Amino acid sequence: MRSSYPDQSYDWTGNLQLSGGKGGKRLSLQGQDGQNGTVMSPKCMGGYSGPFCHACPIGTYKLTYSYGVCVPCEGKPANSHYTSKAIATANCPYECDAGRDPFSANPYCEDAFSVQIQRLGGTRNYLFFVGGFLALLMVIWISLVI
């Protein structure tokens, strides 16, 4: 006997519409009509969700083996994009957008100028370095003029 329920497949991408059946009568008891839209689904591993355990899309995740749903990832800096689907942790992997240093050298995906400021120890150290350099140039220029 074949079921009217579609074959389960992890790659199935169709729509599933459920309609409740008409209540029957047995002896002197009248059954109630069924309700629409109830689907029982298995628990899914982390990174997978839904009635057929589809992979969570890029930019979403689901923790642990559960009935949970995919939720948006957290912690991606500006000027970057998520790269993987089926993630089981809130810290989804990401890469910096085009024109930026790679994630391994620039984990906050900052522009080149901001990266150089951070490499010198922050804004205060950068200003101290630039101010010192300008002062040294001024001393050299004055000594050459005299």
User: Cα–Cα distance between 138 and 26 in angstroms, integer?
Assistant: 103
Question: Where are the chain's structural domains?
Answer: 42-97, 111-146
State the alpha helices, DSSP H only, in the chain: 112-119, 123-145
Confidence tier at 135 by pLDDT (50, 70, 90) = very high
pLDDT digits over 1-15, tens only?
A: 444 444 445 555 666
**Quick one: fold of 42-97?**
Tumor Necrosis Factor Receptor, subunit A; domain 2 (2.10.50)
**Cα-based distances in Å from 116 to 77, 95, 101, 112, 119:** 18, 19, 12, 6, 5
More confident residue, 73 or 27: 73
Q: What average pLDDT is seen over the chain? A: 81
Share of the chain above pLDDT 90, in %: 32
User: Cα–Cα distance between 36 and 60 in angstroms, integer?
Assistant: 29
